[in-house]
């Protein structure tokens, strides 16, 4: 199966449309902060022949696959192994001090979901790894083996918005006294057994817990909270950023960062807005855009997406 077949980029044409005004000049710099398997980047490189891509990913398998997919653009791409809050350093390492367009496609990638032994999917039995960068950091199995009941409850509530967080934390503590929880199949069995029958009808019991573990293992929200302001800081006037988020916690962080960047800082009561207090960015879409019904039908991974976009209109002081 070709790379085009295994990965369908979400909201591709809308992303291209929003980034186009910033990428049409020769020498424009595009940062794909979540390169994945390179689907969005491939289309943008094809559409804008004067663009140089700086592609970031913490997943070395993704960088390898994207490098193969984008090989025909080798003289126009720089791929960097880094987490996306390192965007400024990644640009500098590629020889640039700013980016004209930036794309974030957040969450777990198609590659990570589809490769069973990564442990991201509750529908497949695999070692409980869940690291986006398998070269460093603790695994999900480590979290389950070492966190206290209170710590497990906290991450399930905060990162999974799980109503049964306390029940699941107690069940995990009890189960690990009997045997280490090292595989996704084991964890699913524990969660299903701890879930009242009525609650099981509301969705798979493991969905929110697996999300919470993945976020904890990869520090996703803390990284994102640093990454969006860092990315905004690399954009010149006319530069644009597009962010695709797939769960409410991510989207709230993006919404808040964009709201702050697009707000006036004028003190209350001033009769006119002074130039130095004018917003630095303008929002390009109203609220968060969703995928169309047709795209959701053809690409189910587009179902939860929320798109937000902004353009710099004033330099920082």
Same domain, 243 and 294: yes
Same domain, 155 and 202: yes
Same domain, 235 and 291: yes
Question: Given this model, what pLDDT does residue 316 score?
Answer: 83
Of 218, 248, 268, which residue sits at a domain end?
A: 218
User: In sequence order, which residues have a C-beta less than 8 Å from that of residue 194 and are 6 or more positions away?
Assistant: 164, 167, 168, 170, 171, 205
What three-state secondary structure class fits 3? helix
Same domain, 88 and 227: yes
Same domain, 20 and 31: yes
Same domain, 8 and 100: yes
The answer to whether 308 touches 245, Cβ cutoff 8 Å, is yes
Same domain, 214 and 238: no
CATH number at residue 287: 3.40.50.150
- CA angle 91/232/85 to nearest 5° reads 55
Evaluated on CA atoms 22, 23, 24, 25, the torsion sign reads positive
Q: What single DSSP character describes residue 183?
A: B
In the annotated binding site, the residues are 38-40, 57, 84, 105, 112
Q: Which helix (H) or strand (E) holds 244?
A: strand 240-245
3-state secondary structure 264-302: CCCCCCCCCCCHHHCCCEEECCCCCECCCHHHHHHCHHH
Q: CA 116, CA 123: separation in Å to the nearest integer?
A: 9
Indicate left, alpha or beta for 103 from its phi (over 0: left) and psi (-120 to 50: alpha): beta
Angle separating helix axes 207-218 and 184-193, nearest 10 degrees = 130
Same domain, 66 and 195: no
Residue 297 within any structural domain of the chain: yes
Angle separating helix axes 220-233 and 248-261, nearest 10 degrees = 30
Of 218, 236, 255, which residue sits at a domain end?
A: 218
In the annotated binding site for S-adenosyl-L-methionine, the residues are 38-40, 57, 84, 105, 112
Same domain, 47 and 126: no
Q: CA 169, CA 191: separation in Å to the nearest integer?
A: 9
Spell out, as residue ranges, where the chain has pLDDT lower than 50.
1
- Give residue 186's domain range: 117-218
What is the phi/psi pair of residue 314, to 5°?
A: -145, 140
Residue 112 within any structural domain of the chain: no
Residue 269 within any structural domain of the chain: yes
Global confidence as pTM: 0.89
Of 218, 239, 266, which residue sits at a domain end?
A: 218
Residue 72, judged by CB atoms within 10 A of its CB (0-12, 13-18, 19+), counts as: exposed
Same domain, 133 and 210: yes
Same domain, 170 and 188: yes
Residue 48 within any structural domain of the chain: yes
pLDDT digits (tens, 9 = 90+) for 214-242: 999 999 999 999 999 999 999 999 999 99
Q: Which helix (H) or strand (E) holds 209?
A: helix 207-218
Question: Given this model, what pLDDT does residue 123 score?
Answer: 75
Question: Given this model, what pLDDT does residue 1 score?
Answer: 44
CATH number at residue 128: 1.10.150.170
Say how many domains are in the chain.
Answer: 2
Same domain, 95 and 236: yes
Residue 100, judged by CB atoms within 10 A of its CB (0-12, 13-18, 19+), counts as: buried
Residue 110 within any structural domain of the chain: no
């Amino acid at each position: 199966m070709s790379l085009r077949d295994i990965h369908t980029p979400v909201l591709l044409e809308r992303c291209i449309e929003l980034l186009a005004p910033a990428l049409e000049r020769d020498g424009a710099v595009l940062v794909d902060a979540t390169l994945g398997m390179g689907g969005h980047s491939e289309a943008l490189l094809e559409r804008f022949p004067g663009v140089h891509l700086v592609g970031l990913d913490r997943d070395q398998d993704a960088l390898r696959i994207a490098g193969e997919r984008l090989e025909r653009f080798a003289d126009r791409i720089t791929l960097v192994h880094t987490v996306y809050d390192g965007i400024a350093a990644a640009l500098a390492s590629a020889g640039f001090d700013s980016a004209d367009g930036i794309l974030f496609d957040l969450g777990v990638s198609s590659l990570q979901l589809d490769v069973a032994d990564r442990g991201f999917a509750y529908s497949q039995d695999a070692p409980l790894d869940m690291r986006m960068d398998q070269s460093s950091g603790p695994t999900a199995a480590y979290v389950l083996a070492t966190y206290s009941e209170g710590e497990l409850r906290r991450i399930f509530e905060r990162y999974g918005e799980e109503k049964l967080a306390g029940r699941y934390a107690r069940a995990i503590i009890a189960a690990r006294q009997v045997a280490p929880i090292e595989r996704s199949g084991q964890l699913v069995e524990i969660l299903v057994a701890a879930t009242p029958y009525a609650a099981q009808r509301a969705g798979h019991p493991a969905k929110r817990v697996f999300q919470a573990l993945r976020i904890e293992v990869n520090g996703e929200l803390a990284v994102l909270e640093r990454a969006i302001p860092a990315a905004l800081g690399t954009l010149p006037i006319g530069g644009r950023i597009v962010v695709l988020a797939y769960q409410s916690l991510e989207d709230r962080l993006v919404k808040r960062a964009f709201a702050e960047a697009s707000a006036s800082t004028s003190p209350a009561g001033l009769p006119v807005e002074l130039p130095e207090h004018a917003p630095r960015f303008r929002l390009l879409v109203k609220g968060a855009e969703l995928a169309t019904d047709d795209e959701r039908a053809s690409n189910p991974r587009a179902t939860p997406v929320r798109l937000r976009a902004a353009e710099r209109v004033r330099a920082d002081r």
